[in-house]
Structure 1
Amino acid sequence: MIEDELVKKYNLRPPGYGGTSRDAAVIFKLASQLKPEIQSLSLANNNLTGTLLIRDKKEISMIVPRKDKMIHLRELVLTGNPIRELAYKNGAGATYRADMVRRFTSLEVLDQEPITQISFDAPQPSTSHVPVEKPTATVFPFEMGPSFVTGVDGAIVSKFLTRFFNAFDSQRDLLMGAYDSAATFSFSANTSIPARARVVGFHSSPAMPNQRKLDWKTWLETGSRNLIRIGGDPQKTLGNLHIGGEQIVKVLGNLPPTRHDIGGPPEKFCLDSFPVPHGQSMGLLLTIHGEFTEVSSGGIRSFDRTFMLVPAPEGSRAKLNGWDVAILSDQWIIRGYSSHEAWKPGPLLVQATSQQSQPAPGAAQPFSITNLPADQQAALASLPEAQRNLVIEVCGRTGLNAKFAVDCLTGNAWDLERAIANFNQVKSSLSRDAFL
């Protein structure tokens, strides 16, 4: 900027020199109003002095795209800037480039070098204006099946899971022998409330009061490897991947105490297990979905856990500790409770969309369990999810309270349309206490 012809011609003093704050403020204000939006920005070799330099990542955050600002930036030049020079001096050039690309997602050129674009051979959206017919099916063409175990004795899987979760809930140090010396472990906390749980109202239902006591703080601060939350930070990405039994058990000891009802109702858990190639031999991929109670609060969380197992070699730590298999990989996802009804064997219901079923702008929100009085919510908690959803639908469409809605559905073999038709026939004879 010091060598700029306009600066010289009009005797302007560039930023960084005494008494120039007013000039600089005017220049930058005018620059902020430039139309079209800035597409190329150079902070290279600017020779600025003073406290308003952009010379580290914290300061460059001031110009990171926000709302409608800097969203069209195509080229950024930081050659000669301490941000770039320090990174390359420390051998972190690749990290520097990745960080700039993450901060400025529209960048095509960085420091006069093109940015490699990653693309996928995915089919492009059609430009045809032919209207697409909306789905009308109410049942998915394939049913939800039960747990799937093949290519391995089910007793081995059952024995492993029972011993693993019993130790996990009581004395996690005992699991050190179950992990291979090169085993990897990571966990990811998914803090979003699942759509199914939000609709049913699990997290606000009086029937599950402990759900309000749950807190994600410990999970997030102990090393959650949720890649969306950590923003691709390479240090956290690698640091939250734990290797070897000693390191893994140390991390497990810092996580909240849990209680898995592994010997309870089998429908609360779903597992798939089958052989997969592992080098020159075969391993066993084991995935389990279920729920656990967080002991400190009494609240329930759902989880998904995937193990890569191999037969424990003779003389190995796993074999010496009585494990038939050793864990090579353990990936654990902890999420908000969403009920085991999700994997209940049988037809998969689909919510068909139609022109009539789409609410108009400004229309009332769909009826949910939270619209019912607390005592009726508690009464519905004992029903299977499919029946509970039918009761809520009847309550919303007829105005019946939960008790009469259940009676109406029971008398019509839990057929929703039959129940609604039956209600329309007798509604004039119902007393006021049948309604909400």
Structure 2
Amino acid sequence: MVTPAMAGPMKMREEAANGERAEWLGLAARNERVLLVNECSLPTSSENNHHPQSGVCATHSSRFAAYHHHYSCTRSIHQADAESPSSRRSPHSLNMDAESPFLFLPHPSPPSLRHQTGRHRPPKESPYTKPTAAGRSLSSRISGPPGSSGSSTRPKRGATNINPRRNPEGTPDVLNDRNPRRQQVQQQQHSKFNEVLKTDGFKAWLQSRLIAPGVLDMSNLNEDLYLKEQGILPPGDKDAPTNVGHVLWKMASNVLETPTDRIHTLSLARNGFRSLHQLQRLPICLPYIRALDLSDNPVPKSDELKHLQSAGEQRGKASTGIGSLKSLVELKLNGVKFREEYLTQPKGAEAYQHDVLRRFPGLLILDGVQLNRIVFPVTRKPVVRRIEAERKQLLARPFSFPFDVAGSFEENEGCRATAMNFCQMFFLLWDTDRNEIVHAYHPEATVSIAANTLPSRSFQATEVSRSRSTRPQPVSFESWVNLPGRNFLRSCTTIEQRTNTLKSPMDMPEFVRWLTKSVPKTKHPLEDASKWCIDAWYFDETQERISVVIQAEFQELPSGTYRSFTRTFILGAAPHGSLAAAKSWPCIVLSDVMVVHSYLGTGSWDSKSSLASGDTTIVPPAEPNTAAPASDAQQAVLIEQCRLRTGMNATYSAMCLAQNGWDLERAVVNFGEIRSSIPAEAFTQ
């Protein structure tokens, strides 16, 4: 109910609102466009959430902010029209037609928008009429004339690229991104290849390519008569299906390999490979390859060799799992395009060898040349599938280890005393005064420090993580990685970078600066011998050098973070009259290699880590009988028996018996374990 006392103020507010509405309409008539909104009316005093001063409904404040942003983005477009004399009209000259429910309102927005139409379409009771060319929407005026943009002119998926820079007019089909002729040829080849795979002739062709046990010759397939008769394009052809190589390697594995006879030598020479993408699944299908020949293929870049690596190896991580040629020891790239380009450059031979060896670190022979390298090849044992009864029998058998976990190892008391005296003096100065420790190094010694930042997934790491709350919060390895790091597969990929990671007292000022400024400060537990594992033995028969391997822990200062480390020293006698002898060093450092990693505790060597628990026992191995038979006749009998049981010739049978102490049964057992790694010439009679 409205009382007479309330009527006066209400009338004054209504008059003010009407004046404000007239002002809004005048601005709309002057600008004639910005925002398209629905019927705009002033809210009455009875509406909810009505602001007592401005008359703006609170529920519409967020919409006003959006309109303000839209107006600020388009204000420059309308400024010229707004300032034109012909566009200026009286605030009261706007024709309010009942059939036109929409108004073009400029910024700022009117006090109230009661019936918002939404983002997509007007309400059903007020149908929207598409604006004409003279009154097109703001977005169309910005983008240009009709048909210049929008989904109607966008090319459909699979259509030819209309970008004039990418495919200019007149570009041949062979250079286009989508070559219909090539796609048609690949589809035809795919169908033909599927038909040929089902025939026995294809399997016989694969058998004919096996020139010796484990040796597969797939070279010069472009001139192969069988493939030409069948109309099959080899993997090196540019029009061949992208998966023809994958199918070939899989079929070779299924048809030619057995659990005891694996393909270990493969020749792919003279196949016209411009890319090694067809070899991407070769390591998966034929993982036992030890020798690979890619000679005389026009491969343009050495980066194509990545297709022979696993995904982890391509990212610089060591991998022995599926997808890697870890058994590869020989690679031939004679006549390959990128090799010849390498050799024409200064120091190209070194760069070429470095580029190949960083991808295949286990190589012993490259391009037919024996490499002077020390490697530890990873051998794969043959896959053995057992039936359920055999599995139960193996599970029921008690498990045993030949040796138990032991602590420190010293070859003799003299070696132990020298190593202990050195470590006590060295690590004390390492923690307190590194300026004095430089005297313990030989002038031509080499020093390197690397950080293993990968977290351990071992049982010991799981046990240590349970007591994490009792130690300070671990910090980043950044200070150790920047020494610089020695990750040869990721951060140190060139010879210069790898050389710079080695430090030496030959540059004494830089060596002292590196030790005192770059290497983080540490604190070793010198008072607790249980936290140290020191193995020491003589490096050679002359007993002039000692090899010392230390596993222990320290605290990194000032954070107090616990870290474990492994440090290997090669020690020699201190020369008479040298500064090291004057400083009472028991020996001098010839080589120092340190690896820092996450904290792992002492569970790897302490007395609490015995393997003898439960049903597990320690059974020391029996001493082998190394005495050979007394007579040549007895040896000949054993050689003949070994030859009949293993299939090897007499020479390799004698070698097998000699390496197993002329114990026939043990020789046969060991033969079965390493059967896949024995060369083919051992079975030629």
Do both proteins adopt the same fold according to a TM-score greater than 0.5, normalized to the shorter chain? yes
Match for residue 147 of structure 1?
Answer: 408
Cα distance in structure 2, aligned partners of 1:192 and 1:37: 36
Are 1:284 and 2:546 counterparts?
yes
Is this contact kept in 2: 1:135–1:352, CA < 8 A? no
Shift of 1:273: 2.0
Residue 560 of structure 2 is aligned to residue 298 of structure 1: yes
For 2:501, the equivalent position in structure 1 comes to 240
Which amino acid is the alignment partner of residue 531 of structure 2?
A: K
Q: Which runs of 5+ in 2 are unaligned?
A: 1-165, 187-237, 247-267, 276-298, 315-322, 326-330, 617-685
For residue 260 of structure 1, what is the aligned residue in structure 2? 524
In structure 1, runs of 5+ residues without a counterpart are: 1-14, 44-53, 355-436
Q: 1:72 to 1:350 in 2, by over 3 A?
A: closer
CA displacement, residues 10-36 of structure 1 (integer Å, 9 cap, x when unaligned): xxxxx9999749734225997696231
C-alpha separation between the residues in 2 aligned to 1:135 and 1:193? 35
Matched, 1:207 2:470: yes
Shift in CA distance, 135/241, structure 1 to aligned 2, threshold 3 Å? farther
CA 1:116–1:17: 2 relative to 1, 3 Å: farther
Q: In structure 2, do the counterparts of structure 1 residues 86 and 289 end up closer, same or farther at CA, with 3 Å as the change threshold?
A: closer
The residue aligned with 1:95 is 351
Distance in 2 between the 1:349 and 1:342 partners? 11
User: How far has the Cα of 1:216 moved from its partner?
Assistant: 1.4
Q: Secondary structure at the match of 1:328?
A: strand
Give 3-state SS (helix, strand or coil) of 1:314's partner. coil
Rate the CA distance shift 1:261–1:89 in 2: closer, same or farther, 3 A. same
Post-superposition Cα deviations, 1:119-154, rounded to whole Å, max 9, x if no partner, equal: 969685265747462486577453333433324165
Matched residue SS, 1:289: strand
CA, structure 1 residues 180+223, in 2 after alignment: closer, same or farther (shift >3 Å)? same
Q: 1:346 to 1:66 in 2, by over 3 A?
A: closer
Counterparts in 2 of 1:166 and 1:349: CA distance versus 1, 3 Å: same
SS in 1 for 2:535: strand
Q: How does 1:210-221 map to 2 (within 5 A)?
A: 210-211=473-474, 214-221=475-482
AA at the equivalent of 1:328: L
Look up the SS of the partner of 2:177 in the other structure: helix
Compute the displacement of 1:336 (Å).
0.9
Measure how far apart 1:85 and its partner are.
2.3
CA offsets, 1:29-67, max 9 Å, x none?
976962314885238xxxxxxxxxx9877x869988686
Preserved contact between residue 151 and residue 275 of structure 1 (Cα < 8 Å): no
| Corresponding residue pairs, total | 320
Aligned residue type for 2:178 = V
**Is the Cα contact below 8 Å between 1:287 and 1:304 reproduced in 2?**
yes
- Could you tell me whether the CA contact under 8 Å between 1:138 and 1:350 is conserved in 2? no
Tell me how far 1:341 sits from its aligned partner.
2.5
Larger strand proportion, structure 1 or 2?
1
> Residues 333 and 159 from structure 1, CA distance in 2 versus in 1: closer, same or farther, beyond 3 angstroms?
same
2:521 partner letter? P
| Cα separation, partners in 2 of 1:331 and 1:120, compared to 1, 3 Å | closer
TM-score, reference length from structure 2: 0.39
1:34/1:243 CA distance change after superposition, 3 Å: same
1:222 pairs with 2:430? no
Q: SS state of the match for residue 426, structure 2?
A: helix
- Could you tell me how far apart the structure 1 residues matched to 2:574 and 2:558 are? 35
The 1:281–1:258 alpha-carbon spacing in structure 2 relative to 1, beyond 3 Å, is same
For residues 162-177 of structure 1, the aligned pairs below 5 Å read: 162-177=424-439
8 Å Cα contact 2:569-2:589 kept in structure 1: yes
SS of residue matched to 1:157:
helix
For 1:352 and 1:18, the matched residues in 2 are separated by 80
Kindly indicate whether the alpha-carbon contact (under 8 Å) linking 1:137 and 1:352 is maintained by their aligned counterparts in 2: no
Distance 1:159 1:290 in 2: 17
The 5 A counterparts of 1:182-193 are: 182-193=444-455
Instruction: Give the residue type in structure 2 aligned to 1:191.
Output: T
After superposition, the CA RMSD in angstroms is 4.8
Indicate if the aligned counterparts of 1:142 and 1:347 stay in contact, CA closer than 8 A.
no
Q: CA deviation at 1:296?
A: 3.0
Which amino acid is the alignment partner of residue 520 of structure 2? Answer: P
Q: Which has the higher contact order (CA 8 A, sep 6+)?
A: 1
Deviations along 1:68-111, whole A, 9 cap, x unmatched? 9x989999898566x85255321222432442465589x9x99x
C-alpha spacing 1:86/1:168, structure 2 compared with 1 (3 Å): same
| CA contact 2:404–2:610 (8 Å) conserved in 1 | yes
Letter paired with 1:257: K
Partner of 2:351, secondary structure, is: helix
Taking the aligned partners of 2:311 and 2:566, their CA distance within structure 1 comes to: 36
Give matches, 1:23-42, under 5 Å.
Answer: 23-27=175-179, 34-37=242-245, 41-42=273-274
Trace 1:47-66 onto structure 2 (pairs within 5 A): none
Give the aligned partner of residue 586 of structure 2. Answer: 324
Percent sequence identity over aligned pairs: 23
Report if aligned partners of 2:565, 2:594 keep a CA contact under 8 Å in 1. Answer: yes
Moved more, 183-192 or 150-159: 150-159
Counterpart of 2:435 in structure 1: which amino acid? D
Name the structure 2 match of 1:411.
none
Rounded to whole Å, the distance in 2 between the matches of 1:340 and 1:187 is: 22
Matched residue, 2:33? none
Work out whether 1:348 is the aligned partner of 2:613.
no
Checking the alignment, whether the CA contact within 8 Å between 1:134 and 1:353 is kept in structure 2 is: no
Which of residues 85, 92, 99 is equivalent to 2:341?
85
Q: What is the CA–CA distance in structure 2 between the aligned matches of 1:100 and 1:18, rounded to whole Å?
A: 42
Q: Deviations over 1:250-293 (max 9, x none)?
A: 4433111111121x221111212232327x55222222211000
Partner Cα separation in structure 2 for residue 337 and residue 270 of structure 1: 15
Provide the rounded CA distance (Å) in 1 between the counterparts of 2:427 and 2:401: 34
Q: Structure 1 residues 169, 115: CA separation in 2 closer, same or farther (over 3 Å shift)?
A: same
The verdict on how the C-alpha distance between 1:323 and 1:123 changes in structure 2, with shifts beyond 3 A counting, is same
Please give the residue correspondences for 1:381-392 in structure 2 after superposition, counting only pairs within 5 Å.
Answer: none
SS in 1 for 2:610: coil
The offset of 1:159, in angstroms, is 3.0
Aligned AA (1:305):
R
